[in-house]
A and B are shown apart, each in its own frame.
Chain A
């Protein structure tokens, strides 16, 4: 394998790397429990809370992602777990032990930083050995552990390099090796991929995910990138202005969002105003686009609530029509954009403008601006949800 390590990442890792990874596996992945966790910067009484009384249970071995726009409190939450911020109120437990007062350097957690935070004055080896030396391990043991960690990240040839002599992706892996070599109970990531270029970012996603599976280590990952969250996580915690909007698997969050914010933040969504005809326990009958539809609904939706119908761009169905007037099921193409793997339309309908994505445009009839179309959607994928008073 000629392999720069970047490309080696995507090809089949060799047995040596795999066995190195196995020996890095954590013995006891930690369980992290947050209860009524609050953080107020500045004055406790007058300051604005960055995190508002959140509860969260993170299972041992789970890969959980804190996702949200900037200022949503995700990084603050992570830093409280790491011990870099002191909670204003509430508790953080690790395996049933309250660790609020445990100093950050005494917590069995390791963090990978957005900037990697490699020590620029130390070699790769010394960076990875840093924490082990602080544990006063015998130097032979340190060398052995560091070699294993470097091998597992395919960094063996770089042990004597300085951080600035390495590419971003390599630095990222040194940071990961430095964290993993500590055998932490919990691995923390603070937007670790945001400094990488797009292609490398996609590779590292898969790499980190595979590694995490293999090691079985509890992992808390902070990002504002929904693709990262969707592809890597067991569960996603969607946060907004200091509160948790939803905690669920990527699929559930995408298909059955708990709020308009979540639906809008994860993927893209059309929100249709509908006439509610009937609300059942497991769904609802609604009228929109000139038809009656049987759709799924959020459990909280009850008869008489203010609701909106979420339809993902890819579940809208378009077909040609002879009609020449917008109304009922008929819409008109306002614009179209060609993405290669998909084509995207902006469609004017009586229920508002819809964003529509049609996959594999070569296989379908394509439309142009001004075309009149018959517009519908897949009932099973539409989702009726409540509109909270404070969200638009």
Chain B
């Protein structure tokens, strides 16, 4: 067929459009290259540089003398032992609690599942001191329950209190992990086992449990990393029980010994990073259950009292404790001194909402709002590059992106203080001015936003990766085949399709930014007050009422944001056409 046969009106697009002809030398996709370079640069600055700087200081003569004394010096040995002990106890206990809650949620028959689910998730959106402060008030030396009800003077400071508070704070991680896994266990496997003659107990031990082991192992490892990395609770509840994170904090903030801080950070970094790597690349590979898979049917819910009653009693006990903690936070903010002087007062809330404390509230919310979309989009972008675009370097980019989660916040914070308190000079040139610390541009706010992004990026990245792995790559190729560049494909096709992951990423980014403490205490400045570090100051000075008010308001801000975000995403103009 030739052109002359065509009606003139239907001037074929093919002849008039420039993109219809292969353009010599237009090369491969430039937008892809630009995106990779931008992401790589961003990651190097917000994660890479601080880590490199902390390592250089830790390996300096001064730092290395502390690192090498870790096992020989009895004090340091004690700190190391405390850290490992706390990590092991909390990870086992937290996983057990998480398992009970997940098992009850998925397999038991009872009413109020939704409420139990929400209660199980509550500690995730709460600021770090809420549980610790409530625990001191309720169960401490003059605790309302320990002393008030039982007349006991319990010493809550130390391992005991830390175990209690950390377990209660971190079990939701295990809960989420194991719940997903239990839900995706294919009931037809149980049926197959039953069909082959196995009884209920045999099914549990020979089919269910072996399939859950990677999930249980994964949860234990994740909780281990979380609990050895935690700084907030050891600061408030540790007492004489010093762990690596609080020791590093003391070195930097109390002794102005940056090298010491870097040295303790390195020792903390090694187990945290290796356990994280084991969890991420080994345990998750052993995973025989696809957590994202859809169950092929609904399992028969358990009604047998022998299992149901003890499980439910435990689940309700845990849920009650959680509620008790948060009720304390809420009520504690409305009375003069909870447990001592229970007169109603609005002073604490006035302090936070309208007084000196309001500064921190506005600043924190603003910075978190700036960091959230950056972290969410960057997470999706990294996920897309890792899953779809990069080949040999995808593992590296995935790993660097995840570092913000894998590296303890204390380590990141000290790294930021070392790397960004002074202007960044490389090859004799100043690349950018100091971004952290009091003398930095914007009062150090930039570094705080960077930390927020680094810390909250990984969850979105993970969610994005698993969402993308479920979408047929042919959809991307179809867009390319129709003339879309990589950037256009990402914007018009990929991003709309992974909206649920983006939503999860944004939600988590905001919650994490608002509640993170450990990296913040090292870089917050008088000009840029952050709520979590203000709470620390209030708790330190024993003004629990203000701390409670801060915590309650922080929770309200986070929950409102999540609510608004979900509402916005429901809006038809944003929602678009639902996918199957």
A residues sitting closer than 8 Å to B (CB atoms) are 22-23, 25-29, 61, 82-84, 94, 97, 99, 101-111, 113-115, 117-123, 130-132, 134-135, 137, 145, 148, 162, 164, 175, 178-179, 181-185, 188, 215-216
Contacts and interface: CB of A to CB of B under 8 A. Distances in A.
Nearest to A216: B1
Contact of A105 (B5, B21, B483): B483
A176 B476 CA distance: 17
Given A102-B24, A105-B481, 11 more contacts: A25-B5, A26-B12, A103-B27, A105-B19, A105-B484, A108-B20, A121-B493, A121-B579, A135-B483, A162-B577, A182-B20
Contacts of A185: 14, 20
A122 B577 contact: yes
B477 interface: yes
Contacts of B12: 25-27, 183
Nearest to A60: B1
B482 A182 contact: yes
Contact of B497 (A105, A106, A120): A120
B488 A134 contact: yes
A130 B482 contact: yes
A265 to B, nearest CB: 26
Contacts of A104: 477, 480-481
A200 B549 CA distance: 67
Nearest to A142: B13
Contacts of B9: 23
B1 A94 contact: no
The main secondary structure of chain B at its interface with chain A is loop
Contact of A114 (B3, B26, B474): B474
B505 to A, nearest CB: 18
Contact of B19 (A97, A106, A119, A130): A106
A61 B1 CA distance: 8
30 contacts: A23-B7, A23-B9, A23-B10, A27-B1, A27-B15, A82-B481, A83-B480, A97-B24, A101-B25, A101-B27, A103-B26, A105-B480, A106-B19, A106-B22, A106-B26, A108-B21, A108-B22, A109-B481, A115-B472, A117-B477, A120-B580, A122-B576, A130-B479, A131-B484, A134-B19, A137-B17, A145-B13, A178-B478, A178-B482, A215-B1
B481 A111 contact: yes
Name, among B10, B28, B479, B482, the residue most crowded by chain A CB atoms within 10 Å (CB to CB).
B482
B29 interface: yes
Given A121-B579, A123-B577, A162-B577, A111 B6 contact: no
A22 B5 CA distance: 10
Interface in B441-494: 472, 474-475, 477-485, 488, 492-493
B22 A135 contact: no
Given A28-B15, A61-B1, A162-B577, A105 B29 contact: yes
Name, among B6, B10, B26, the residue most crowded by chain A CB atoms within 10 Å (CB to CB).
B10
Contact of B576 (A113, A114, A121): A121
A338 to B, nearest CB: 37
B23 interface: yes
Contacts of A119: 475, 478-479, 493, 497
Interface of B: 1-3, 5-7, 9-10, 12-15, 17, 19-29, 472, 474-475, 477-485, 488, 492-493, 496-497, 576-580
A113 B17 CA distance: 24
A276 B207 CA distance: 64
A110 B477 contact: no
Nearest to A84: B477
A107 to B, nearest CB: 6
Nearest to A134: B483
A174 to B, nearest CB: 11
Given A103-B27, A105-B483, A134-B483, A117 B478 contact: yes
A90 B210 CA distance: 51
Contacts of B26: 102-103, 106
A114 B481 CA distance: 14
A113 B477 contact: yes
B1 A26 contact: yes
A118 to B, nearest CB: 8
Contacts of A101: 25, 27-28
Given A27-B6, A27-B12, A164 B483 contact: no
B480 A121 contact: no
B105 to A, nearest CB: 30
A43 B508 CA distance: 40
Top 5 A-B residue pairs of the complex, sorted by shortest distance between their CB atoms: A131-B482, A183-B14, A216-B1, A117-B478, A117-B474
A99 B27 CA distance: 10
B503 to A, nearest CB: 14
Contact of B579 (A108, A114, A164, A215): A164
Contacts of A115: 472, 474
Contacts of B20: 108, 182-183, 185
Contacts of A109: 481
Nearest to A148: B10
A181 B482 CA distance: 10
Contacts of A22: 7
A103 to B, nearest CB: 5
B36 to A, nearest CB: 15
Contacts of A106: 19, 22-23, 26, 483
Nearest to B496: A121
Nearest to B493: A119
Contacts of B28: 101, 103
Contacts of B5: 25
B28 to A, nearest CB: 5
A292 B479 CA distance: 61
A51 to B, nearest CB: 18
Nearest to A217: B1
Contact of A111 (B23, B25, B477, B497): B477
B3 A28 contact: yes
A135 B28 CA distance: 18
A46 to B, nearest CB: 15
Nearest to A123: B577
A27 B480 contact: no
A114 B477 CA distance: 12
B481 to A, nearest CB: 4
Contacts of B19: 105-106, 108, 134-135
Contacts of B472: 115, 117
Nearest to B476: A117
B493 to A, nearest CB: 6
A134 B22 contact: no
Nearest to B23: A106
Contacts of A27: 1-3, 6, 12, 14-15
B345 to A, nearest CB: 52
A45 B12 CA distance: 45
A216 B3 CA distance: 11
B500 to A, nearest CB: 12
A165 to B, nearest CB: 9
Nearest to B497: A121
Name, among B21, B24, B25, B472, the residue most crowded by chain A CB atoms within 10 Å (CB to CB).
B21
A95 B1 CA distance: 16
A162 B21 CA distance: 32
Contact of A117 (B1, B29, B475, B578): B475
